[in-house]
Structure 1
């Protein structure tokens, strides 16, 4: 999968899920049968569909703006992740010694 496709999926999939949640919340309080467009009643299925795509588009734009802001300085998103020290055998020993020392000092 290309990097562009991965980035699109990283934006569109969460937006899809959030749009579904927004749809459920909104239509828990709003009856789609009561909605009119230009004085005409619209079928509830059309209201559900149109609302879902509007919610999806808005949340996708929000994700796209966040992605753009993270990469505004020319760095990839991976550059913003704090690197964890590698846990080599010596690193694990040092980590355990640190925790034992910390536990003794707390007692």
Structure 2
């Protein structure tokens, strides 16, 4: 697969994932106060709000991008994957 093809595939997954992570960030933090978050042990999460927003955004982006990459992978045939032609439209 050429470098241009890899770049295009990354763009088609990462850019929409970035936009949707921003939307999800706004929806989640419209109802959740970052100062009232607690860890798994019940202790208060003493992070500044900006850190909570940043980490949450990166987690949202990673999860949405992973879903996009899995969708790209599932769009290819097994033969294309095994031959290194990871393009659903052929070589």
Which protein has the bigger helix share?
1
Distance in 1 between residues matched to 2:62 and 2:77, nearest whole Å: 22
Give the unaligned 5+ runs of structure 2. 81-85
TM-score normalised to structure 1 length: 0.66
Secondary structure in 2 matching 1:41: coil
Which of 72, 75, 85 pairs up with 1:67? 72
With a CA cutoff of 8 Å and minimum separation of 6, indicate the structure with the bigger relative contact order. Answer: 2
List gaps (5 residues or longer) in structure 1: 80-107
Q: Separation in 1 of the partners of 2:10 and 2:23?
A: 20
TM-score of the superposition, structure 2-length normalised? 0.77
CA root-mean-square deviation: 1.8
Is residue 77–residue 88 contact of structure 2 (8 Å, CA) maintained in 1?
Answer: no
Larger Rg: 1
* Aligned partner of 1:23 among 4, 22, 25: 25
Q: How many residue pairs were aligned?
A: 79
Moved runs in structure 1, 4+ residues, more than 2 A?
36-40, 75-79
